[in-house]
Structure 1
Amino acid sequence: MPSLPQSPLSPRFPGASPSSPLLASFNPAESQQRDSMASGSSGAGSSGAGRDSYFALSPPPRYRDSAAPSIAPSMAASARDDVVSEWNISATGHLYADGMLVSDPPEPDDELHRPDKFEGSYGRGNIFTARGISNLGFLFLLTGGLVMLFAGWPIYAHYTRPYIPHDDNGYEDTNAIGFNSNAGGNSSSSSGNGGAMQAKGKMPLPQLVDPETPDAAKTKKSFRDGEDWELVFSDEFNTDNRSFYPGDDPYWTAADLHYWGTNDLEWYDPQMATTRDGYLRLQIREADPINNHNMSFMSGMIQSWNKLCFTGGLIEVSVQLPGTSNKPGLWPAVWAMGNLGRAGYGASLDGMWPYTYDHCDVGTLPNQTYPGTSTPLAAVQNGDPSTNNMLSYLPGQRLSACTCPGEPHPGPTLSNGSYVGRAAPEIDIFEALNNAGYGQVSQSAQWAPFNAEYKWLNDSTNLHITDKTVTQLNDYIGGSTQQTTSGLSVTNQDCYELEKGCFSDYGFEYKPGYAEDDAYITWIVNDTAVWGLEAAGLAADPETEIHARPVPFEPMYIIMNLGLSKNFVWNLDLTTLTFPATMLVDWVRVYQPKGSTNVGCDPASAPTKTYIDQHMEAYTNPNLTIWGTNGVPGGAYMQPQPKNSMKDGC
Structure 2
Amino acid sequence: MSKTYRIPHRRRFASMQSPLATTTCLISLLLIELIQPSPNNNIFCQASWIDPDTPQDAQTVSPLQVVPAPPAPKHAKHDDDDDDSDDKKKHHRRRRDPTQTPTFYPTFEPTHFPSIAPTTTTPAPTHPERIYNLVFSDEFNTPHRRFSDGSDPRWTALEKNDYTNDAQHYYSADNAFTDTEGNLVIKSEATDTEILGFNDVKHKNERITKHFKSAMLQSWNKFCFTGGIMEAEMALPGRHDVGGLWPAFWLLGNLARHTYVGSSEHVWPWSSSVCTEKSRTAQLVSACDRVEHYGLHTGVGRGAPEIDVFEVQAGSIKANKGAFLKMPVGQPFMSSSYQVAPGRIPRPGEGWWPAPGQWYNNLTGGMNTSMNIIFYGTYNHFRDDTNPAEQDYWSDAISYNRQLNESHFGKFHKYRVEWEVPEEASKKNNYTKSYGYIRWFLDGETVLEVKGEGLNASGTGAEISSEPMYMLLNTAISSQWGFPEKCPSNCPCKTYNCRGGYGETCGFSEGFCDMINKPVEYKINYVRVYQDKNDPKQKVGCSTPERPTRKFIEAHKEKYMQKGDLQPLKPIQNGGGECSVAAPMNATLPQSCGGTTRGKCDVSRNPPTCSCLSNWTGPYCLSQAAHDDVIWDPVETLADLGFRGPNLKGPMGVMLAAFILFAVTVAPIVLNNKKKKRRKGYSRVPDYERLVGA
> What's the counterpart of residue 92 of structure 1?
none
Cα pair distance change 1:551/1:291, threshold 3 Å: closer
Amino acid at match of 1:330: L
Cα pair distance change 1:273/1:209, threshold 3 Å: same
Distance 2:276 2:564 in 1: 32
Match of 1:454 among 340, 347, 350: 347
Distance 1:620 1:444 in 2: 28
Distance 1:164 1:585 in 2: 36
- 8 Å Cα contact 2:435/2:463 also seen in 1: no
What is the CA deviation profile of residues 57-112 of structure 1, one whole-angstrom value per residue up to 9, with x for unaligned ones?
Answer: xxxxxxxxxxxxxxxxxxxxxxxxxxxxxxxxxxxxxxxxxxxxxxxxxxxxxxxx
Using the TM superposition, give the Cα deviation of residue 554 of structure 1 relative to its aligned residue in structure 2, in angstroms. Answer: 0.3
What is the CA deviation profile of residues 169-199 of structure 1, one whole-angstrom value per residue up to 9, with x for unaligned ones?
Answer: 9xxxxxxxxxxxx987459xxxxxxxx442x
Cα pair distance change 1:186/1:218, threshold 3 Å: farther
Cα pair distance change 1:459/1:347, threshold 3 Å: closer
Cα pair distance change 1:349/1:601, threshold 3 Å: same
Using the TM superposition, give the Cα deviation of residue 470 of structure 1 relative to its aligned residue in structure 2, in angstroms. Answer: 4.2
> What's the counterpart of residue 186 of structure 2?
282
> What's the counterpart of residue 591 of structure 1?
530
> What's the counterpart of residue 613 of structure 1?
554
TM-score by length of 2: 0.53
What is the CA deviation profile of residues 246-288 of structure 1, one whole-angstrom value per residue up to 9, with x for unaligned ones?
Answer: 1111110011112212121001011111111211111111112
- 8 Å Cα contact 1:266/1:297 also seen in 2: yes
> What's the counterpart of residue 439 of structure 1?
332
- Match runs of 1:267-278 below 5 Å: 267-276=170-179, 277-278=181-182
3-state SS of paired residue (1:480): strand
- 8 Å Cα contact 2:226/2:540 also seen in 1: yes
3-state SS of paired residue (1:347): helix
3-state SS of paired residue (1:260): coil
3-state SS of paired residue (1:517): coil
3-state SS of paired residue (2:551): helix
Amino acid at match of 1:287: T
Distance 2:265 2:564 in 1: 13
3-state SS of paired residue (1:559): strand
Please tell me whether residue 465 in structure 1 is matched to residue 365 in structure 2: yes
Cα pair distance change 1:186/1:528, threshold 3 Å: farther
> What's the counterpart of residue 400 of structure 1?
286
Match of 1:533 among 450, 467, 470: 450
Using the TM superposition, give the Cα deviation of residue 411 of structure 1 relative to its aligned residue in structure 2, in angstroms. Answer: 1.1
Amino acid at match of 1:502: K
Match of 1:427 among 295, 307, 320: 307
Amino acid at match of 2:140: F
Structure 2: stretches of 5+ with no match in the other structure: 1-5, 13-37, 66-126, 197-207, 319-330, 349-353, 381-394, 425-432, 485-506, 566-694
Distance 2:547 2:237 in 1: 36
Cα pair distance change 1:439/1:183, threshold 3 Å: farther
> What's the counterpart of residue 210 of structure 2?
295
Using the TM superposition, give the Cα deviation of residue 594 of structure 1 relative to its aligned residue in structure 2, in angstroms. Answer: 3.0
What is the CA deviation profile of residues 134-166 of structure 1, one whole-angstrom value per residue up to 9, with x for unaligned ones?
Answer: xxxxxxxxxxxxxxxxxxxxxxxxxxxxx9997
What is the CA deviation profile of residues 466-493 of structure 1, one whole-angstrom value per residue up to 9, with x for unaligned ones?
Answer: 32x3454443212313311001112242
Amino acid at match of 1:426: E
Distance 1:536 1:324 in 2: 39
Cα pair distance change 1:183/1:334, threshold 3 Å: farther
Using the TM superposition, give the Cα deviation of residue 298 of structure 1 relative to its aligned residue in structure 2, in angstroms. Answer: 0.9
Using the TM superposition, give the Cα deviation of residue 507 of structure 1 relative to its aligned residue in structure 2, in angstroms. Answer: 1.9
- 8 Å Cα contact 2:243/2:483 also seen in 1: no
> What's the counterpart of residue 334 of structure 1?
249
Please tell me whether residue 488 in structure 1 is matched to residue 439 in structure 2: no
| Larger of the two Rg values belongs to structure | 1
- 8 Å Cα contact 2:468/2:543 also seen in 1: yes
Using the TM superposition, give the Cα deviation of residue 540 of structure 1 relative to its aligned residue in structure 2, in angstroms. Answer: 5.1
Using the TM superposition, give the Cα deviation of residue 223 of structure 1 relative to its aligned residue in structure 2, in angstroms. Answer: 2.4
Distance 1:221 1:353 in 2: 31
Higher relative contact order (CA 8 A, sep 6+): 2
Distance 2:49 2:60 in 1: 15
- 8 Å Cα contact 1:466/1:529 also seen in 2: yes
What is the CA deviation profile of residues 117-136 of structure 1, one whole-angstrom value per residue up to 9, with x for unaligned ones?
Answer: xxxxxxxxxxxxxxxxxxxx
3-state SS of paired residue (2:273): coil
Using the TM superposition, give the Cα deviation of residue 434 of structure 1 relative to its aligned residue in structure 2, in angstroms. Answer: 2.0
Amino acid at match of 1:607: P
> What's the counterpart of residue 88 of structure 1?
none
Q: How many residues align?
A: 391
3-state SS of paired residue (2:539): coil
3-state SS of paired residue (2:189): strand
Amino acid at match of 2:408: C
Using the TM superposition, give the Cα deviation of residue 363 of structure 1 relative to its aligned residue in structure 2, in angstroms. Answer: 2.6
Match of 2:414 among 460, 481, 505: 505
Distance 2:39 2:187 in 1: 37
Structure 1: stretches of 5+ with no match in the other structure: 1-162, 170-181, 188-195, 199-203, 367-395, 414-418, 625-650
Distance 2:526 2:267 in 1: 30
TM-score by length of 1: 0.56
Cα pair distance change 1:519/1:623, threshold 3 Å: farther
> What's the counterpart of residue 117 of structure 1?
none
Please tell me whether residue 520 in structure 1 is matched to residue 433 in structure 2: no
> What's the counterpart of residue 354 of structure 1?
269
Distance 2:158 2:246 in 1: 16
Distance 1:550 1:168 in 2: 40
Distance 2:398 2:338 in 1: 6
- 8 Å Cα contact 2:192/2:213 also seen in 1: no
- 8 Å Cα contact 1:346/1:622 also seen in 2: no
- 8 Å Cα contact 1:454/1:479 also seen in 2: no
- 8 Å Cα contact 1:540/1:549 also seen in 2: no
Distance 1:517 1:236 in 2: 34
> What's the counterpart of residue 311 of structure 1?
226
- Match runs of 1:120-135 below 5 Å: none
